[in-house]
């Protein structure tokens, strides 16, 4: 059994677009698990919020997306995480459903062996140099 390093990356290819994500740490997984909202007086899991949190921390790069001006789309970061504006823009992309399905499938099992219709996965192991 392989354990992913936080430095590993997974390329998710959907058509001509390639997204690169990383595994997320325990605290991000905990935050995702606690995503909830009140509906009809009852607390329920908020899938949209959970996906938002995951993408904010996991997505590291994208190529092949074109913005409304016809230019290559560029992600915007605050430190190591995506900006809220950037995530909001990504939630409008044509590949949204396939991308989120792939990400969700990789949340607890970061493996290129996952089979997701219309999606190609490529695991890139990155080992940090010794200190």
- The string of pLDDT tens digits covering residues 62-91 is 999 999 999 999 999 999 999 999 999 999
User: Residue 43: what pLDDT?
Assistant: 84
The band of 26, judged by pLDDT with boundaries at 50, 70 and 90, is very high
User: What distance lies between CA 122 and its chain's CA centroid?
Assistant: 14
In a domain, 1, yes or no: no
Please indicate, yes or no, if residue 49 is contained in any of the structural domains: yes
Distance of CA 100 to the CA centre of its chain: 7
What is the C-alpha separation between 80 and 57, in angstroms, rounded? Answer: 7
Q: Which residue has the tokens 């677009």?
A: 17
The answer to whether residues 25 and 6 touch, using CB atoms and an 8 Å cutoff, is: yes
pTM: 0.87
Domain membership of residue 120 (yes or no) is no
pLDDT for 108 equals 83
Domain that holds residue 47: 9-112
Task: Say yes or no to pLDDT of 34 above 60.
Answer: yes
pLDDT at 59: 97
- Rounded to an integer, the average pLDDT of 7-32 is 94
- Rounded mean pLDDT of the chain? 90
Q: What are phi and psi of 70, to 5 degrees?
A: 90, 10
Q: What is the pLDDT of residue 19?
A: 96
The count of structural domains within the chain is 1
DSSP, collapsed to helix, strand or coil, labels residue 120 as strand
Within a domain: 81: yes
The answer to whether residue 126 scores a pLDDT higher than 90 is no
In a domain, 59, yes or no: yes
> What pLDDT, on the 0 to 100 scale, is given for residue 131?
58
């Amino acid at each position: 059994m392989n354990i992913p390093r936080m430095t590993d990356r997974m390329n998710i290819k959907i058509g001509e677009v390639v997204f690169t994500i990383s595994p997320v740490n325990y605290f991000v997984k905990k935050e995702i698990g606690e995503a909830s909202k009140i509906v009809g007086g009852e607390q329920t899991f908020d899938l949209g919020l959970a996906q938002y949190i995951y993408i904010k921390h996991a997505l590291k790069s994208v190529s092949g997306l074109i913005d409304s001006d016809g230019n290559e789309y560029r992600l915007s970061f605050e430190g190591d995480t995506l900006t809220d504006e950037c995530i909001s823009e990504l939630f409008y992309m044509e590949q949204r459903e396939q991308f989120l399905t792939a990400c969700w499938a990789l949340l607890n099992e970061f493996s290129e062996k996952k089979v997701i219709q219309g999606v190609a996965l490529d695991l890139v192991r990155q080992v940090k140099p010794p200190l």
